[in-house]
Amino acid sequence: MTLEYIPLVFMLVFGFGIATVFMYLSEILGAKRSTKEKNTTYESGMTPFKTARDRFSVKFYLVAMLFLVFDIEIVFMYPWAVQFKQLGSTGFIAMMLFIVLLLSGYIYVIKKGALKWD
């Protein structure tokens, strides 16, 4: 039984080992030239115009969360669509239930104005 775990141990050892070694190698061997651009915050090549530590609207969180819900739904939809014939009526009923539940949540979200930006 313990033999089964040997590959895992190898993976752990090599994984950690290689990462550590490379990190320190680049630190030791790499060139160090500090310029002004290099010290600024990385924002996809844009020039930062104010500090990143700022409060921003809670609506971003709300949208992000709702996005997650409707995003995850695909995880169920996709395999069901692929296996539609094999799953038969049971799968259909289950999926319909799922969609109805999701729909009622969607109605709630819209009616409560969670998607309104202003």
Interacting residues with another protein (CB under 8 A): 90, 100-101, 104-105, 107-108, 110-112
Listed in sequence order, the residues at least 6 apart from 84 whose beta carbon sits closer than 8 Å to its beta carbon are 91, 92
Instruction: Please say which residue, 23 or 100, places its beta carbon nearer to another protein.
Output: 100
Least spacing, CB of residue 110 vs another protein, in Å:
8
Instruction: Please say which residue, 17 or 88, places its beta carbon nearer to another protein.
Output: 88
| Nearest by Cα to 57 from 110, 108, 114 | 114
Instruction: Please say which residue, 65 or 107, places its beta carbon nearer to another protein.
Output: 107
Instruction: Please say which residue, 18 or 93, places its beta carbon nearer to another protein.
Output: 93
Per residue in 36-75, is it b (16+ CB within 10 Å) or e — as a string?
eeeeeeeeeeeeeeeeeeeeeeeeeeeeeeeeeeeeeeee
Least spacing, CB of residue 45 vs another protein, in Å:
38
Least spacing, CB of residue 97 vs another protein, in Å:
9
Least spacing, CB of residue 14 vs another protein, in Å:
25
C-alpha–C-alpha distance, residues 73 and 16, integer Å: 36
